Structure 1
Amino acid sequence: MENQAMTGTDHQHSEAVVQAAMWLADQNPAPQPIIPHIRERFGLSALEACEAAALSTKYRILRKAHG
């Protein structure tokens, strides 16, 4: 069996990470710097904030693709 990275539905995000990602996806322009801002606003660790930032990009892409 191949070692696969945990992406998409394979990886469970905490509710705080999902909420931060949804909020960030709605920001135009996004606050800068992003990671410290969402860490403070949502009480996330650095890793969780990075996950939220990456997830927000997926949300933006899906919104553009599906209207």
Structure 2
Amino acid sequence: MPFRECSTRNPRQQILDAAQWLAEQPTAPKISPDDLKDRFVLTSADASEAVLLARRYRICRRAFG
């Protein structure tokens, strides 16, 4: 279900929300930036940034618990 109601929120917050959601998935899903674009109403650049940020979140959680 897309989060269309978030479209009026701060774009930076939408990127962080998408990255956090992606990082919290039990296994690293093979979600493309296009999937995040649709789900969180992001631009292509923002969705790509969210994917990279989610990878960093996962690494930090693994390293620091």
Fold match by TM threshold 0.5 = yes
Higher helix share: 2
Bigger radius of gyration, 1 or 2? 1
Amino acid at match of 2:51: A
Unaligned runs of 5+ in 2: 1-10
* TM score, norm. by length of structure 1: 0.73
Unaligned runs of 5+ in 1: 1-12
Moved over 3 A (4+): none
Compare relative contact order (CA 8 Å, sep 6+) and give the higher one, 1 or 2: 2
**What root-mean-square deviation, in Å, do the aligned CA atoms of Structure 1 and Structure 2 show?**
1.4
The percentage of counterpart residues that share the same residue type is 35
* TM score, norm. by length of structure 2: 0.75
Matched pairs, number: 54
